[in-house]
Amino acid sequence: MESSESIKLTRKFIEACVRADPDEFAGYFTEDAVWWNSPWQPVKGREAIRETLRRGALTMQALPWELRHIVADGDLVMTERVDHFMVRGALVSVPCMGVFEFRDGKIFAWRDYWDLKQFERQVPAEKPGS
């Protein structure tokens, strides 16, 4: 793909992330894709990626993400973002660097790098009995 096409597709995908529809989300990936949401373990395969998003959406709501920078070189796209979520009634915002690799118009690798401790410090403690 041309760099401009890769950027356009990445922007559309980021919008889809906020909607958190597992089928729409998974539709952006190749069957053999890998999603590494570092610091967690990589998730391999479209169906596992769909299930991971579905489970995550049960515990947090994605809010619009702030895309600060986006650059591309053909099928490779890099983003600097602030991802926003609502978790247990609190706004959680996490700076993130993301790398997307496309094959035939689909994501076959997505790697995000962010600080888990920064995320955890913003999440309110669970209330007993919740």
Asked if 112 is an active-site residue, the reply is yes
Q: What share of the chain is helix, strand, coil (3-state, %, to 5)?
A: 35, 45, 20
Taken in order 81, 64, 92, 60, the sign of the CA dihedral is negative
Place of tokens 């041309």: 2
Of the residues 23, 75, 112, 115, only one is catalytic, namely 112
Asked if 73 is an active-site residue, the reply is no
Q: Is 125 helix (H, G, I), strand (E, B) or coil?
A: coil
Which residues form the catalytic set? 83, 112
